[in-house]
Amino acid sequence: MAKLVIIDDEAAILELMTKLCKAAGHQVFGCTTGLDGIAAIRANQPELVIVDLRIGDVNGLDLVSMCRDQFPNTAVIMVTGHGSVETAVEAMRLGAFDYLTKPFDLGDLIKTVNQALQRNGQAPGTPMPSSVASSGNVLRHVSSSSKLIGHSEAIQRIFDIVRRVANNDSPVLLEGEFGTGKHMVARVLHEASRRGKAPYKELQCAAMPEDALETELFGPNSIFQRVAGGTVHLAEVNQLPARIQAQLNSFIDDTQSRKGWSGSSSSAIDYRLVVSSTASLDEAVKSGKFREDLYYKLSVVPLKIPPLRERREDIKPLVEHILKDLAERTETRPKTIESNAIDFLEKYNWPGNVSELRNAIERACAFAENDRVKPADLPAKVTQQIEVPTPSASEGMTKLPIGTKLDDFIKAQERVFIQETLKYNNGSREKTASMLGVSIATLYRKMGLNVERKTTM
């Protein structure tokens, strides 16, 4: 058991971190002000301090310096937001052991605490109890830390690839739109591998100035050194400046040559590299924005994460999981959702993908009465529809949900028009193709038929 002082002016976050660290077997002193934190440090001389960078009355960097000068045996973990990563790197230059970027996963907190205590010669705490690990996380909900939810063929294919490459140290490239869950897949890869008990660190390449990014990647106590046999996830790797791309390319060559493909060396830095991008790295290479040699090093195992609109059958199980997850956070019974509300959710195109879906469900739960989510509780953009004319005069108007892709609308209208033309020509596909000015093969393709089929429609 170790003594910890946690300083954060957000009461809910302070309460959660305190609860987790106590559950891990530590004696914890929680403080909501910097002055109270300093007093607690001086009175208890703890083995570890966790401090938010931005607390009202004291600068977190000053507190790091104080611990370094006055309490050299006390490790410090800095907590910061994405926009303050450069300052967090400065905290490490001043002597902080590591930093956590909000929002962070519960498992990362406990792992980092244990690593800091071990570095200082202290025994780590007990593992985080499952009852605590599954409880509400005001920092970030990561689907029970590392769950991928879905029954679709696309998600099952990702499960299969993760299973096959988890223990392969080859770099993995994750590509997909914003909100598809690339960070989730990266974490699953880590936790399913032999490196699962080692640290997992995620670095947002687009969130840091170039000099700070260089220090974090290649400076003293870099992110690669801090994972100590774990996994580094470089998010938005397509945003790396050209100079950093060149350094990363050389760094990978150097670490691979030191370790070798089959052996190991005490001088080698041991890590598994996962990178992700919302833009196509292949296209970035073609446009000259990304190094071709680095691209080939990073894309040994390429994996595309499909957008939610391409796996609509996963929407219902995702909604059920989110409802359960939200209930655990608030320690209440899960809300139910009406089937017609699910219908609206399955028809909407979700440009923000799973992240947007979660926000929509969280909003709906806030408005829902009697623990039941109705269509009226959903965001207006999900339930709002547009009336558009159909090519068939008998059908008149049809309703499409806001967010329908133009290509999807055009394909649907095209199919209806072909059907009407087929009716006019008494089912003759040859006459229909001629009248529409397309080949018979094109007609079959647009109708989703095989060219060999002979039966009339």
Q: What are residue 273's DSSP bridge partners?
A: 232
CATH superfamily ID and name for 142-306? P-loop containing nucleotide triphosphate hydrolases (3.40.50.300)
Domain 309-383 sits in CATH at 1.10.8.60
Fold of 1-140: Rossmann fold (3.40.50)
**High-pLDDT (> 70) share of the chain, %:** 81
Does this chain's domain 1-140 share its CATH topology with 142-306?
A: yes
**High-pLDDT (> 90) share of the chain, %:** 32
The closest alpha carbon to 358, from 140, 202, 68, belongs to 140
Q: How confident is the model at residue 262 (pLDDT cuts 50, 70, 90)?
A: very low
Q: How confident is the model at residue 106 (pLDDT cuts 50, 70, 90)?
A: low
Domain assignments of the chain as residue spans, ordered by start: 1-140, 142-306, 309-383, 390-446
Choose the weakest-confidence range: 136-150, 332-346, 358-372, 386-400.
136-150
Fold of 390-446: Arc Repressor Mutant, subunit A (1.10.10)
The pLDDT assigned to 385 comes to: 60
Please state, in angstroms and as integers, the Cα–Cα distance from residue 245 to each residue in 81, 98, 282, 437, following that order: 25, 24, 15, 50
Average pLDDT of the segment spanning 380-390: 70
The pLDDT assigned to 132 comes to: 42
Please state, in angstroms and as integers, the Cα–Cα distance from residue 270 to each residue in 193, 237, 296, following that order: 14, 20, 20
Average pLDDT of the segment spanning 187-207: 88
On whether the CB atoms of residues 64 and 75 are closer than 8 A, the answer is: no
pLDDT of residue 96 exceeding 90, the answer is no
The pLDDT assigned to 304 comes to: 94
What does the pLDDT look like over 4-19, one tens digit per residue?
999 988 887 888 888 8
